[in-house]
Amino acid sequence: MRRIAVFTSGGDAPGMNAGVRAVVRSANREGLHVFGIYRGYQGMIEGEIKRLENEHVRNIIHRGGTILKTARSKDFMNKEGRQRAFDQLNAFDIDGVIAIGGNGTFTGADIFTKEFGIPFIGMPGTIDNDLYGTDYTIGFDTAVNTAVDAIDKIRDTADSHNRLFFIEVMGRHSGYIALHTGIATGASGVLIPEKAKDTAGLIRTLKKAASRKKLFSLVVVAEGDEEGGAIGIANKVKEQFDDFEVKVSIIGHLQRGGSPTCQDRILASRLGHASVQALLAGRKSEMAGLVNNQVIFTPFAECISQEKIMSKDMMDITEILAMG
């Protein structure tokens, strides 16, 4: 193996640049030639491939987003598009590829390797933290810290005006951001896709808080909530609960941006280095992840098909700590 490529795909996540940097510098140290594929699979199809030297990844470890850009690719979903992508990789004599992304990225990589034989190693890059085979994904810690900072500011105005705030965080199919943010901000309730909703129970909790003269309440809602996200839940509560003025705040894509935290930079750096070593060792169709602070490799097929089980203890803690 002499020439490898790296790309970022799917939604951007803080720490992706740190991962790209680690891949480039680790590969160069091993005497490999490294190429960056711009705009994910679509860029692979269109030949947007450029050589990356150490100086190209200088001063990017602290930057959010991805210098390689990212894009969705419908063309890659059909055999003709994948053939064009293979032809482009072949033109650059690429021997192996490192893909930073999520389930969709790894699904495409697994199919591509089976069809054309080029080995892919994956790095988990998604703020949702929903990938099986790793305790944490690149970008998750930054997204949670961004949400916590925003909610801490909302708390000030909620306290001043005796308001009930429903705060929506990202996570269409995953409640990890909401769960961790809710615990860290002392929320009175956390609503996530993984747990059946109990609006009546939430109202009882809020009324108990009001009876104890609690001046305000915060409820964190994952955007994938089955009852319509923060707006849908707030409307239902408002109909039966008039102790507080009810407000809704949607943090949105703010969580995707910003400088990555120390944890995300270190995670991306460790996994980037490990991914290069994995290609050199002959691994393929596997994701590098971190479990119990150790780098492990999980087949793409398992990452895609296995559900990451949310800790029951963490869900219990949100209810216990909300009783004050």
Q: What pLDDT was estimated at residue 229?
A: 82
| Residues designated as active site | 128
Window from 102-106, 151-155, 203-207, 210-214 with minimum mean pLDDT: 210-214
- 310 inside domain: no
Q: What pLDDT was estimated at residue 316?
A: 86
* Band of pLDDT at residue 209, cut at 50, 70 and 90: low
Per residue in 122-143, pLDDT (tens digit) is 999 999 999 999 999 999 999 9
Mean pLDDT of the 107-114 span: 98
Q: Are residues 165 and 252 in the same domain?
A: yes
Per residue in 147-191, pLDDT (tens digit) is 999 999 998 888 777 778 999 999 988 899 999 999 999 998 888
Give the 3-state secondary structure of residue 56.
Answer: helix
More confident residue, 172 or 97: 97
Mean pLDDT of the 310-315 span: 86
- 317 inside domain: no
Contact 13, 271 (CB under 8 A): no
Q: Are residues 278 and 182 in the same domain?
A: no
Query: Number of structural domains, the chain?
Result: 2
Q: What pLDDT was estimated at residue 212?
A: 63
Q: What pLDDT was estimated at residue 259?
A: 97
DSSP string covering 193-256, please? Answer: TTS---HHHHHHHHHHHHHTT---EEEEEETT-TTTHHHHHHHHHHHH--SSEEEEEE-GGGGG
Mean pLDDT of the 275-296 span: 98
Q: Are residues 19 and 152 in the same domain?
A: no
Contact 218, 248 (CB under 8 A): no
Adjacent-strand bridge partners of 123: 100
Total residue length of the chain: 324
d(CA 243, CA 245): 7
> How much is the mean pLDDT over the chain?
91
Window from 81-95, 156-170, 277-291 with minimum mean pLDDT: 156-170
Q: Are residues 157 and 194 in the same domain?
A: yes
**Could you tell me the CATH number of the domain that includes residue 276?**
3.40.50.450
Per residue in 292-302, pLDDT (tens digit) is 999 999 999 99
Q: What pLDDT was estimated at residue 311?
A: 85
Window from 85-99, 128-142, 231-245 with minimum mean pLDDT: 231-245
CA 184 from centre of chain:
18
The answer on pLDDT for 22 being more than 80 is yes
Q: Are residues 72 and 170 in the same domain?
A: no
Mean pLDDT of the 45-67 span: 97
Which among 223, 239, 256 is the end of a domain?
A: 256
Among 177, 174, 178, CA closest to 166: 178
pTM of the model as a whole = 0.93
Range of the domain at 176: 141-256
Question: How much of the chain, in percent, has pLDDT values that exceed 90?
Answer: 71
Q: What pLDDT was estimated at residue 296?
A: 98
